[in-house]
Amino acid sequence: MATGFDPSGRLPDIFLNTGTSSFTQFLSAAAPELLPGRRPLPPGLSAGDVAPHGTTIVAIATAEGVVMAGDRRATMGNLIASRDIKKVHPADAYSLIGIAGTAGIGIELIRLFQVELEHYEKTEGAMLSLDGKANRLAAMVRGNLGAAMQGLAVVPLFAGFDLAPADPARAGRIFSFDVAGGLYEETGYEAIGSGSLFAKAALKKRYREGVGTEDAIRLAVEALYDAADDDTATGGPDLTRKIYPVVMTATANGTNRLSDAEVTAVAEQVVSGRMENPGG
């Protein structure tokens, strides 16, 4: 039985109050223990070393929308905790979310954010604006600040196709966050995580405004390759196990995860290109 339910089986009053269309606000009243950031943590300890960490995510604004890609590695100290973790997910039909930092908190944040967006859509019969979605996510990151101070930090990257953009040429938009819940809109491209310095350096040289989706996918995989080259916590294309980055797009047609075959083709091109010219 889910928490917050009345033993008589009838819906508790809090379910029937007109209240809010925000699912997290509803949960904070009906079942606060389900919210991340509401859990008491032991004082003074740093939990950072005991939980797997996810690393590099890149997002690129294209002529048609956005591309987001993430490597597959999760690390725990100097160990590889997972070789095939997925750190990029659809947030709803037109937006994408990637996470870097404590993997467990990040995945919980994604699940809750997905429910938050869908819940609003169902109760209101209208989708939140892209800025509205980004603001909700910022508030959720802010709620995790206490845990972040104790080493369980998570920072998302949010990107999506804006259905009502101020500038139609810039319908693909990217938002980054800091652990305190600060929200920043990025132009062109952005990367987060421990490999982000290298990924951003690669993108800085190669990104052009109005890049097509196909080229942006290639750029994203190249940037992840560069991040993996210099950052031990970022995994490169794993040719042995056939594990390649998760690449997703959000355009006017909605979100799409590239199939294994499509990503494999791009990753193999990138790897073979680097065989001839390691500097890219």
- Please report whether residue 55 would count as binding other proteins according to CB under 8 A: no
The yes or no reply on residue 29 touching other proteins (CB under 8 A) is no
DSSP letter, residue 211: -
- Told to check if 122 binds other proteins by CB under 8 A, we report yes
Q: Do residues 94 and 163 touch, judged by C-beta distance below 8 A? A: yes
| Residue 256 binds other proteins (CB under 8 A) | yes
Task: Pick the closer one to other proteins by CB: 59 or 231.
Answer: 59
Amino acid letter, 212 = G
For this structure, is 55 an active site residue?
yes
Find, among 26, 182, 47, the residue nearest to 104 by Cα: 47
Does 264 bind other proteins (CB under 8 A)? Our answer is no
* 142 interacts with other proteins by CB under 8 A: no
Q: Which pair of structure tokens corresponds to residue 83?
A: 């070789």
# residues contacting other proteins (CB under 8 A): 55
From its phi and psi, is residue 35 left (phi > 0), alpha (psi between -120 and 50) or beta?
beta
In this complex, which beta carbon is closest to other proteins, that of residue 8 or of residue 78?
8
Give DSSP secondary structure letters for 59-85.
EEE-SSEEEEEE---EEETTEEEESS-
Nearest approach, Cβ of residue 65 and other proteins (Å) = 7
Give the pair of three-digit tokens for residue 64: 């048609």
Q: Which of 24, 55, 75, 213 is catalytic?
A: 55
* 8 A C-beta contact, residue 28 and residue 4: no
Options 68, 69, 127, 174; binder of other proteins; rule CB under 8 A? 127
Check binding of 121 to other proteins (CB under 8 A).
Answer: yes
Shorter beta-carbon distance to other proteins: residue 4 or 280? 4
Nearest to 218 by CA among 29, 62, 72: 62
Question: Which one-letter DSSP state was computed for residue 209?
Answer: T
Examine residue 280 and tell whether it contacts other proteins (CB under 8 A).
no
List the one residue out of 24, 44, 47 whose CA is nearest residue 143: 24
Active-site residues: which are they? 55
Residues that bind other proteins in the complex, under the rule CB under 8 A? 2-5, 8-11, 15-16, 18-19, 23, 26-27, 30-31, 34, 64-65, 86, 89-94, 107, 110-112, 114-115, 118-119, 121-127, 163, 213, 249, 251-259, 262
